[in-house]
Amino acid sequence: MTPLDILADRAGIESEFRDAGGQIRQTTRETKSALLAAMGMRADGDAQAAAELDNLERVTWSRKLPPACVVCAEPGPIAVDITMPAGTGEIGWRIALEAGGERTGSAGFETLALAERRNIAGQMRERRRLILEQDIPWGYHRLTLRPGDAETMLIVTPGRCWLPASVREGRRLWGVAAQLYLLRSRTNWGIGDFTDLKNLVEMLSHRGADVVGLNPLHAMFLDDPEHASPYSPASRLLLNVLNIDVAALPELDACPQVREMIASRDFQDRLHACRATTLVDYSGVAELKLKALRAVFHVCRSAPGSDRWQAFEAFRRERGDVLARGCVFQALREQFAASGADADWHAWPEEYRDPDSPSVARFAAAHSDGITFRIWLQWLADQQLAAAAAAAAAQGMAVGLYRDLAVGADKSGSETWADQAAVVSGAQVGAPPDIHNPAGQDWGLPPFHPRALRQEAYRSFVDLVRANMRHAGGLRIDHVMALQHLYWIPQGRPPSEGAYVRYPLEDLVGILALESHRNECLVVGEDLGTVPDGFRERMAQANILSYRVLFFETDEHGYLPPAAYPPLALAVAGSHDLPTLRGWWEAADIEVKARLGLFPDTAGPDLARQARAHDRARLVEALRREDLMPDGAVMDVARLIRTAHAYLARSRSALAIVQLDDITDEADQVNVPATSDEHPNWRRRLSLTLEEMSVHPRLHAVARIFASERGEKIPCATSASPVHRVPSPHLT
């Protein structure tokens, strides 16, 4: 191997990968050099690579302790690698426990098991393993060594994620997944809000559901509301304030002038227009909500002694710098956008690109009222999301809210500005070319820097997980393979010139397990696409549920039977990137792709239609094998929705989820991958309001199907009396 190859390997750049067609693809020297440069290492040739490699070796071996040690509490004992000059004598260690107290001990360095030795600049250094025999609880502790006062973060983890007692006992749960912003109701302002969510929770819990799945609730760009994809947010650490229900704010009682403004003819006309659209009018909704919220805020700001204001201040202190930086960024970005300048922070004057600069501090001081307003919006959103979670708990839902964590944040947003050291700006995340996307995919999202994550003791990852487990009983991690590796594309290059970059899988899984237990939040990993060998098995060991989509669960014999689904999984018919059941059966997705020119050649649409006809026939055959459809019966969309969900409900998977879009019989999918302006993604509202849905026979039928197949009692939709297991209704 050349120095460039060795350096790339040390940096985590994989030398090859197996593509969707089974072919081995080698990573070129040019790609390795470009990705190393994105990581901050110059390696245009072997000489530069050798110099970088020598420097990396010196830095690594000069540290007595790594920046962080993530260790599993079981089966034990806990061990830590330490590096000292050969011949070092007695060493002492002290652990300052996160909750207070300490553990101490000492050992002769040369008595420890030798792992490796290296001559660095003429000095022999040894890496030996220190066994910490004492009982150390789960948590984030500080380990200090003497002599030398070396220090590290010692993260002790249970190793496996938390599971609800009902899942541990073998109970199979079901629920419904919804894109919150698409919900319609008689009261919302043209976009689904947190009151809608609370009402949805209560509606579904009364029918026996234990889970309500959601799209990412991440903060978006208030200066650019039409930037609508929840999977390309401004920040995954903050909430989308457009989901606030303004009418539900207690503060309105003290704001007669705001109530008058909302009741005015002009405001009501614009509100009616937002409610009447079939597509979410993000700009119209944002204008109305922010106008009303600013007016309420100014009234509240003049009465800071109220209990609500004190609760807000407590929230502000609790969330600290993560919250403050995100809101300072929003104020900065909106000012630059309003002046006609580029809103992307990479194009700002240099003194504003650094969140710790004196210029940013002066801006924050001069605009403190506007920044406090944005923090207050986050508090309102958090309060209303908490109320929805509390409703789920009050109704006895085993999981409750099931949130979604996007794989990355938009490069021009607050998350990348506030935490630049942890993010790579010279590369984007994507996917290599495959059968469905011959050119590959560039998602435009900057990745975490794996070495920087370790250097900061994984602070950014911990903050991210905590923020998204807040008020949640479950967390779906989009593209969970990112725990092991991500496909990086050098800036300015096509996806075909990318490569996979490794991440510290065991450390990240360990932290995820610790936070899962602390928040009592189960974890689901979206493991669709190219999954590395052994990855799903490792996730199962960590109690991370696999994400199994009906239409992808096939083999050479057809659709896998329900009994073949793994117990530690979530079974679902589709997702935001896939057609609805109606759209799949009617091939509406194929027609959309043909109209948008998304097939690689003119034969593509016809081949796709032929393949779909074959898949439809195979699905009918699978349903008949399960006695869900008699011979001679004709399949239509209504029957498909009933029988497909009975099929999923019959699976061994711990969770089975219904897409709300299938209950409301939508034909168009929410998002068409590989499109942006060509198609109105993330905008198509549901055809039924929540009020209409609550009495719709399909919701009741689906609930009874799951009650029957999953063996659970549910309250009847029209009565408080329990409904016991009954034969699946109306399947044939």
What mean pLDDT is predicted for residues 132-156?
91
Q: Tell me the pLDDT band of 725, cut-offs 50, 70 and 90.
A: very low
Q: Tell me the pLDDT band of 378, cut-offs 50, 70 and 90.
A: very high
**Pair type for strands 427-431 and 485-490:** antiparallel
**Pair type for strands 150-157 and 139-146:** antiparallel
Q: Which of 222, 245, 244, 243 is nearest to 233 (CA)?
A: 222
> Mean pLDDT over all residues of the chain?
93
Q: Examine the pLDDT at 730 and tell me if it is beyond 70.
A: no
CB 709 within 8 A of CB 171: no
Q: Tell me the pLDDT band of 384, cut-offs 50, 70 and 90.
A: very high
Please state, in angstroms and rounded to a whole number, the distance separating the CA atoms of residues 47 and 206. Answer: 68
Query: Residue 366 is encoded by which pair of tokens?
Result: 């001069």
> Is residue 94 packed enough to be buried (19+ CB in 10 Å), middle (13-18) or exposed (0-12)?
middle
pLDDT score recorded for residue 713 = 39
- In CATH, which of 1.10.3470, 3.90.1010, 2.60.40, 2.20.25 is domain 77-157? 2.60.40
Q: Examine the pLDDT at 284 and tell me if it is beyond 50.
A: yes
pLDDT score recorded for residue 436 = 67
Please state, in angstroms and rounded to a whole number, the distance separating the CA atoms of residues 223 and 234. Answer: 11
Q: What is the pLDDT of residues 295-332, one digit of tens each?
A: 999 988 877 678 899 999 999 999 999 999 999 999 99
Tracing tokens 């590796």 back to the chain, one arrives at 485
Alpha-carbon distance values, 98 to 12, 141, 158 (Å)? 31, 5, 16
pLDDT score recorded for residue 262 = 97
Please state, in angstroms and rounded to a whole number, the distance separating the CA atoms of residues 297 and 465. Answer: 30
Please state, in angstroms and rounded to a whole number, the distance separating the CA atoms of residues 380 and 23. Answer: 51
Q: Tell me the pLDDT band of 732, cut-offs 50, 70 and 90.
A: very low
Query: Residue 110 is encoded by which pair of tokens?
Result: 């040369």
Q: Tell me the pLDDT band of 20, cut-offs 50, 70 and 90.
A: confident
pTM attached to this predicted model: 0.94
Q: Tell me the pLDDT band of 192, cut-offs 50, 70 and 90.
A: very high
Please state, in angstroms and rounded to a whole number, the distance separating the CA atoms of residues 665 and 681. Answer: 18
- DSSP summary character for residue 566: -
Please state, in angstroms and rounded to a whole number, the distance separating the CA atoms of residues 520 and 140. Answer: 17
Query: Residue 103 is encoded by which pair of tokens?
Result: 């553990």
Q: Examine the pLDDT at 201 and tell me if it is beyond 60.
A: yes
The least confident of 144-153, 354-363, 710-719 is: 710-719
- DSSP summary character for residue 134: S
What mean pLDDT is predicted for residues 346-372?
96
Question: Which amino acid does the sequence have at 264?
Answer: S
**Pair type for strands 655-659 and 569-572:** parallel
pLDDT score recorded for residue 22 = 82
pLDDT score recorded for residue 555 = 94
Q: What is the pLDDT of residues 475-527, one digit of tens each?
A: 999 999 999 999 999 999 999 999 999 999 999 999 999 999 999 999 999 99
CA trace torsion 254, 257, 258, 263 (10° rounding): 120
Please state, in angstroms and rounded to a whole number, the distance separating the CA atoms of residues 108 and 231. Answer: 52
Q: Examine the pLDDT at 529 and tell me if it is beyond 90.
A: no
Q: What is the pLDDT of residues 397-414, one digit of tens each?
A: 999 999 999 999 999 999
Q: What is the pLDDT of residues 622-655, one digit of tens each?
A: 999 999 999 889 999 999 999 999 999 999 999 9
Please state, in angstroms and rounded to a whole number, the distance separating the CA atoms of residues 472 and 404. Answer: 10
pLDDT score recorded for residue 712 = 52
CB 559 within 8 A of CB 619: yes
What mean pLDDT is predicted for residues 5-34?
93
Edge-to-edge strands of the sheet including 499-502? 441-445, 427-431, 485-490, 499-502
The percent of the chain in helix, strand and coil, each rounded to the nearest 5, is: 45, 20, 35
| Domain 180-196+212-400 -> CATH class | alpha beta
What mean pLDDT is predicted for residues 551-577?
95
CB 26 within 8 A of CB 496: no
Q: Is the Cα torsion angle 158, 163, 166, 169 positive or negative in sign?
A: negative
Please state, in angstroms and rounded to a whole number, the distance separating the CA atoms of residues 178 and 195. Answer: 14
Q: Tell me the pLDDT band of 471, cut-offs 50, 70 and 90.
A: very high
Q: Examine the pLDDT at 724 and tell me if it is beyond 60.
A: no
Query: Can the peptide bond before residue 75 be classed as cis, meaning omega within 30 degrees of 0?
Result: yes
pLDDT score recorded for residue 721 = 29
Query: Residue 652 is encoded by which pair of tokens?
Result: 């061994």
Question: At CA 153, angle to CA 161 and CA 461, rounded to 5?
Answer: 50
Report domain extents, the chain. Answer: 77-157, 180-196+212-400
Topology agreement, domain 77-157 and domain 180-196+212-400: no
Query: Residue 308 is encoded by which pair of tokens?
Result: 């609500």
CB 207 within 8 A of CB 717: yes
Tracing tokens 């001069």 back to the chain, one arrives at 366
Q: Examine the pLDDT at 269 and tell me if it is beyond 60.
A: yes
% of the chain at pLDDT higher than 70: 97
Query: Residue 595 is encoded by which pair of tokens?
Result: 């109209």
